[in-house]
Chains A and B, each alone.
Chain A
Amino acid sequence: MCGICGIMIDDVELRHPHVGLLLQEMMESQQIRAQDGAGVAIFNKTNSSDTFRIKSFKDNDGNYVSNETNSSEEKLDENLINLYDKDDCTFFSLENEMTLIKEMGLAKDLDKKHGIRKMEGSHGIGHLRIATSSRVTPYNTHPFSTTILPDIAIVHNGEITNYDMLRDSLELEGYNFYTDSDSEVIAVFVASRILKHGDIERAHREFIAKADGPFTYIAATPDTLAMVRDKFGTRKGIVGYNPGTKEHPPFWAMATDLSALDVIGATAKIETPYPGKPKIFFRN
């Protein structure tokens, strides 16, 4: 956990949907602080189709390789169960509109390998990792997704100190976990609540009430982008706006540190989300 960032384009027609470019710029500006891993999740409605993508990391004796399988909606449960049973494969993303990419190492290497700068969409999130409690592996990098619902991604800065208790009760409800990272519990919890009552703001508030420890996270779903801070505001989080130009779109940006907003010119309407009150943007 370390530097988190998020972008939401503020233009109904999405004339310049350079989400990937903006996220990449933000991440590279923070690189000196964290170098263990990088990842993004970018949402683009044009990617939406009848096919779902299930992504996992396959363990070739310590060398992890990213794997992707396509699945129809009907076969989704079956394919997920098959994946869960495989010892050497670790699930990391269930996507339709979303594209989630993450690797160990630096942000610029992520871009070189996957062309992040060229990726387009309506909104997205990014993360740079400095390993603090879980081991440095690609499946412990962020963003985290879940098998409960597709197109949910979380990036997190902090530690959920009562992770064990939360994980136990979610597992009792029947939800699966795939890593030992405490950040994963945010994705599972929020997804389970959306499934239960559909109210995203309520889901975030419930998490704030139940979770203990320092955290700021950014959560993205197909229609929302939210920055959520714990009730004491123990970790930084800041939101800003860039009103755009002819060549560049107006957009909202979220980050851990002001310097990341600075580098992409998102210094209008600067706001620190109030501790304990989720700041949510809805895609119009």
Chain B
Amino acid sequence: MNEKAVLRRSIIDLCKVDSTREESTDDAIRKVREKRGNDDKENLWDYVVALGAQLSRPPFDPYREKIRLKTEIGRKGTTKIILKIPILLYGEFNLSQSSQDALNLALNDLVDDNSTIGIISKGEPYDERKYSHFQIVNDVNKISDPEGIVMKYDDISIIERIKKARKEFCGPILVEVDEDFSEYTHRLLETGVDGILINTEKITKSVKYAEKHAISVIHDARETINAFYQGKENDGVSLIVTGDMDSTGKIVKSAGLGADVVGYNISLLIAKTGSYSEDFFDEIVTAKKIYNHMIATKNELTGIPAAIGYSNFHNLSPKDFRTSSLKASLEGEILLEGVNKTYREIVKEILDEYINTKKVTIDQQQKQKITEMILLEAN
């Protein structure tokens, strides 16, 4: 029995003449939840919310005031790519010819509508395209005139290939990193890479992030890039997040955690637009559906920053988000709702108070160790 049914039954009991209930709604809901168990990991995104603007900060009106979603990819000195929505369609598998044709049609229509997005794919860029195509290659000699390239990190030998690409290619170069990105990203950035791409689905399958959620990957990637910029001027490295990005809510929350662009999963996009009929695959119909989906997504994306009080999507910051999960708070250093502190900060405060009242002396390392051990038991 799910929670909605339990709630209904409980209230209906209250509506009978001279009724008495055996248990309250919360008692019944508690039982349902105990049976269901914890599904934190799959749905951790559901536990993250944004703070809306009302009195202390007024909302903007997306129907009447222009909200900027414009995004640039490329650092100083690179030929920049401009997107009107911070979305790149990301397809790392080989798509069928008809899927590619449909995408091409849809992307061109979006450019005409002033809603330009881009695409990352292994396939050849289309000649008559009006949008930007990032080609996934490993050797700059093998590209066919895309606007940008994506290289995958296998090992540190990529540095040489990047240097070569940098000399011969003036558009943005992105690198898709693996779970050890924190160790080598600064070297990539020093070589002039314009953006780091993380595939959270792949990375959360690795040993390093096995027990963790996409939130933790995005947070760590943003920290790594920020560390590179410590004391330097930010010249525009982009963090592109892909993986389970398939809804506006996740796009917004990723942006809050530090994503600059979201790689919208092409397979999920095509599947969810439900474009297949029983007997054939119609490119025109699929293209229209993809176009519609992106237009609706764009309008959702203007609505949410406006409701949070920003006229520019990229002004969303971690301070605008809260969570109702200890795990999410730990993984993304997200403030807990109501108390406005992260779980880590709360534990640290308690530890400091303990040290002060019990008058013990321990060093920084031991303090760190104790904090980590307590956080590990987060329930």
Contact = CB atoms under 8 A, between A and B. Distances in A.
A212 B312 contact: yes
18 contacts: A133-B56, A159-B57, A159-B309, A161-B309, A162-B310, A162-B315, A169-B233, A172-B231, A172-B232, A172-B233, A212-B310, A212-B315, A213-B309, A213-B310, A214-B58, A232-B60, A232-B65, A234-B58
Given A172-B233, A213-B309, A161 B65 contact: no
A237 B358 CA distance: 56
A228 to B, nearest CB: 16
B167 to A, nearest CB: 30
Contacts of A234: 58, 60
A231 interface: yes
A49 interface: no
Contact of A159 (B56, B231, B311, B319): B56
A65 interface: no
Interface of B: 56-58, 60, 65, 231-234, 309-312, 315, 317, 319
Interface residues of A, number: 15
Interface SS of A by simple majority: loop
A230 to B, nearest CB: 8
A169 B234 contact: yes
Given A161-B309, A232-B311, 9 more contacts: A159-B56, A162-B310, A172-B232, A212-B315, A213-B57, A213-B309, A213-B310, A232-B65, A234-B58
Q: Which 9 A-B pairs have the closest CB atoms?
A: A162-B315, A212-B315, A132-B56, A232-B65, A159-B57, A161-B309, A212-B310, A214-B58, A212-B311
A169 B11 CA distance: 55
Most buried by B among A132, A169, A231, A234: A234
A231 B58 CA distance: 14
Contacts of A165: 315, 317
Nearest to A159: B57
Nearest to B57: A159
Contacts of A212: 310-312, 315
A214 B57 contact: yes
A132 B309 CA distance: 15
Nearest to A132: B56
